[in-house]
Structure 1
Amino acid sequence: MKRIAPLALLALAAPVFAETQASAWPPKLTFANGTEVALAGNFAWDVNHFDADGSALENDHDWRRKEFGVALKRKGLYDFTAAYDFQSDTWMDVALRLDGKGLTGRDIGKWRIGQMKLPLGFEGNTATRNGAFMENSLPTQAFYEGRRIGIDWALERPRWLLNAGAYGHDLQGNNRGDSQAVRLAWTPWKESTHVLHLGASATREHPHAETNGLGVEIAPNVRWRAKPEASLTGTRLVDSGTLRDVGRIDRRGLEALWIEGPWSLQGEYLRQTTHRHALPDYRGDGWYLLGSWLLTGQSRSYGGGNVANPKATGKYGAVELLARYSHIDLDDAGIDGGRESNWTLGANWYLGSHLKFQANYIRADARRGGNHVQPEILQLRAQLYF
């Protein structure tokens, strides 16, 4: 009961909160020249229950996210965002974006400088508040490059969009090196309830050597692994181990999204190739496919090349049922990193614009070396965001 108490209290308060939150959140200050300053937050409390099947997974309940930030913008000219996750003690987006049309009178795209997500794939670029499932799929966890400091350019047209950038390390001082990334998407249908998005992306990373506290230089290395799509465990059922003497990492992605009224399908294929100086190249890949049905009739929101939570219209909001299959393969070049396939069933309840409840059931199937485990996982989440 202690584990589910925060979720139960939010559920009891939800109907009242949903009626009042629209006018109360987010806190915002508007100046005479149109400049706006607003607070932003994303707080999620999770409960995980495991039928471990010998996989060392342990039940837990805790905060998953405590994201808090500030946004400063003047519509049509610029916006600045700075956010920090106090649960994981990491910086999130800290970036200034300039609108080329507002500054020059011509639509030459939008430029962004600071720390941001690299434009690789679809799911990895979806905001944490907008995830259809509680956790990203296996291949996204393993292969997505994450946030880096750099400069980024995005150009969107009615039927396509292009995003490219160059990046270095992150604000935590990790991931030393340089990366280049590009993402191109074709959107022949882009209406409020009728969307088709097809895209491809690629990054090239050159990791740099680092010097430890003893003055010893450590050659570039990388490690590919994924949690079993569960939020609060540190256990990985598939893991390549640390690969050393890395010269270059190439990542590739294909993505697709279809929305038709309350129905939608979304899928991705991700692949990485690790080029090592004195050893064979190591490759890993994976894919997922998810389906969604909003039984209350709304549609998943789409804009800027990605999805957002549906608008929770009506007194009782929006209710969504989902299913996902994901797969990852980390066996290559004599390395037993393992293979894993997961089935996930999900249910989401959106109340107003800032409150969301999620439930996920996962059936995992992982083989690594001579080990074969099939844990079952039940997850619950209460999420407040603004």
Structure 2
Amino acid sequence: MKLHRQLLTAAVAAALFVPAAHAEVAIDVIGGSEITFEGLVQADGNWFDNDVADLNGGDAANGKDSEFELRRAELVLKGKGPGNVEWVVGYDAKADKFLDTNIKYKLGGNSSHFIQLGQYKQPNSLEELSSTKNNDFISKAAVTNTYAVARRLGGAWGYGQDNWSVTASAFGRELTRNLAHGSGYGARGTFAPINEKGQVLHFGLSYVAYDTDADTLRVRARPNADLATVRLIDSGNMVDTDNVTTLGVEAMYIGGPFKAQGEYYSSKAKRMANDNYTSDGFYVSGLWNITGETWGYKGGVPGTGLPDNPASGMWQLGARYDHMDLNDGNLSANPVAGRPPIVDGVLGGKMDIWTVGVNYYWRSNTKFALNYVMVDSQKYSSSVRGFVNDDPNILEARLQFFW
């Protein structure tokens, strides 16, 4: 913990010397490599209006209905050169884990044609691949957090032009010990039939397959609150799972200051002693830049620009609807009187979530975000021998500093 505080203090001190118009610190040119330093610090607060479950843990009568936490403290070194080589080493001092840590070689000097080795985000989610500091909402969609394979060690090849891209990857475990395991592969293709400044129409398709760690899989989701310790929907441990395959479909439209996007995931777990388990979910969202700014687009992902007027900043309003279904089974009456119903398959529950939010970007380094989350969930409970509805509401706030 002491090392984490020292790293974070040094990072913030360095960032204070960054000119307001820049988002990175130039270090030096060493061995033909232009080295820069970037960082991201996020502090979150969640206030829970609990319904049935105590979302922040412990006794439901403990009187504690809020959580405050340093969410991220990301420190990143990047290098360009020598030649067509680019590299990055990232570390999150809060989570004590490595971030993107890889080397990329641009074939023919083309940034859209590359090979990549190391740890990087796998090519299977529009929201996951977008920059964390510019997420539309404080928490990523429940389906993204559940189904998207994030950073893993591996090798990737990518190629594309301004309006299309193809990326293929083979991967193994996460770089940091005792985190995600399971070797696999994935691919993502994107196509933008409209790609002009301030107007983009994007479509994407992805597929990922990987082995489960120790033949065990558990699919569950928080109610779009990163500080919640309880998952309202949960498949439970499936200890006979061999592998998982996930198909993702994505679409996005940018029209001036408006952006709409959505993703659908269908995931299938191959089980050895039971029927295969299938779950799915989707989200759709809309964002409006009140101050008139638009988004960029490169490599199949959107990019949020800086405020047109740094002194007054950039305001955004957004809304999102999430749906997840972790049920893949049936419930039938027990022929023996007085005994609980018979569950055939997995009844992990269903969850629908509305999120409304406002973001404020000030100058080039600061962001404030406020979200209100409304949850409608239902899950089978063996203790009550029936389905239980749990419909909490959550207020979320974030202060973010980046460079």
So what's the TM-score if we normalise by structure 2?
0.84
Whether the 8 Å contact between 2:18 and 2:24 is mirrored in structure 1 is no
Match in the other structure for 2:275: 280
Distance 1:36 1:298, change over 3 A: same
SS in 2 for 1:243: coil
Q: CA deviation at 1:33?
A: 7.9
SS in 1 for 2:128: helix
Q: CA deviation at 1:231?
A: 2.0
Match in the other structure for 1:265: 260
**1:254-300 deviations in whole A, cap 9, x for unaligned?**
00010010011000001110001121000110000000111100012
1:127 aligned to 2:123? no
1:139 aligned to 2:143? yes
Greater C-alpha Rg? 2
Q: CA deviation at 1:154?
A: 1.2
1:382 aligned to 2:399? yes
1:319 aligned to 2:323? no
Q: Within 5 Å, which residues of 2 pair with 1:24-43?
A: 25-31=23-29, 35-43=33-41
Measure the CA separation in 2 of the matches of 1:24 and 1:186. Answer: 31
SS in 2 for 1:336: strand
What is the aligned counterpart of 1:238 among 222, 233, 240? 233
SS in 2 for 1:319: strand
Q: Within 5 Å, which residues of 2 pair with 1:365-380?
A: 365-369=376-380, 370-380=387-397
1:340 aligned to 2:354? no
Match in the other structure for 1:189: 194
Whether the 8 Å contact between 2:143 and 2:324 is mirrored in structure 1 is yes
Measure the CA separation in 2 of the matches of 1:18 and 1:290. Answer: 34
**1:48-103 deviations in whole A, cap 9, x for unaligned?**
1111112202311111111112111128612111111121222111111110112x
Q: CA deviation at 1:30?
A: 4.1
> What letter is aligned with 1:99?
K
> What letter is aligned with 1:337?
G
Q: CA deviation at 1:165?
A: 0.7
Q: CA deviation at 1:118?
A: 0.8
Measure the CA separation in 1 of the matches of 2:320 and 2:23. Answer: 32
Match in the other structure for 1:97: 104
Distance 1:236 1:20, change over 3 A: same
Q: CA deviation at 1:24?
A: 6.5
Distance 1:59 1:75, change over 3 A: farther
**1:171-217 deviations in whole A, cap 9, x for unaligned?**
123433311100001111122211111010001112353xxxxxxxx
Measure the CA separation in 2 of the matches of 1:19 and 1:351. Answer: 17
Whether the 8 Å contact between 2:27 and 2:37 is mirrored in structure 1 is no
User: Percent identity among equivalent residues?
Assistant: 31
SS in 2 for 1:297: coil
Measure the CA separation in 1 of the matches of 2:36 and 2:367. Answer: 21
**1:6-44 deviations in whole A, cap 9, x for unaligned?**
xxxxxxxxxxx9997425752213439863111111100
Distance 1:18 1:29, change over 3 A: closer
Whether the 8 Å contact between 2:162 and 2:298 is mirrored in structure 1 is no
Whether the 8 Å contact between 2:18 and 2:25 is mirrored in structure 1 is no
Match in the other structure for 1:179: 184
Q: CA deviation at 1:242?
A: 0.9
Distance 1:107 1:49, change over 3 A: closer
Higher mean C-alpha deviation, range 302-311 or range 290-299: 302-311
> What letter is aligned with 2:319?
A
> What letter is aligned with 1:317?
G
**1:314-367 deviations in whole A, cap 9, x for unaligned?**
021210000000000001132121100000001011112221111100001111
Whether the 8 Å contact between 1:313 and 1:352 is mirrored in structure 2 is no
Whether the 8 Å contact between 1:76 and 1:101 is mirrored in structure 2 is no
Q: Which runs of 5+ in 1 are unaligned?
A: 1-16, 210-219
Match in the other structure for 1:167: 171
1:251 aligned to 2:246? yes
Higher mean C-alpha deviation, range 71-80 or range 52-61: 71-80
What is the aligned counterpart of 1:116 among 114, 120, 137? 120
1:204 aligned to 2:209? yes
Whether the 8 Å contact between 2:112 and 2:160 is mirrored in structure 1 is no
Higher mean C-alpha deviation, range 35-44 or range 68-77: 68-77
SS in 2 for 1:321: strand
SS in 2 for 1:55: coil
Whether the 8 Å contact between 1:139 and 1:270 is mirrored in structure 2 is yes
Whether the 8 Å contact between 1:22 and 1:353 is mirrored in structure 2 is yes
> What letter is aligned with 1:367?
Q
Match in the other structure for 1:55: 53
Whether the 8 Å contact between 1:301 and 1:311 is mirrored in structure 2 is no
Distance 1:114 1:319, change over 3 A: same
Distance 1:230 1:72, change over 3 A: same
Q: CA deviation at 1:124?
A: 1.6
So what's the TM-score if we normalise by structure 1?
0.88
> What letter is aligned with 1:51?
D
Match in the other structure for 1:3: none
CA-based RMSD of the aligned residues comes to 2.1
SS in 1 for 2:94: coil
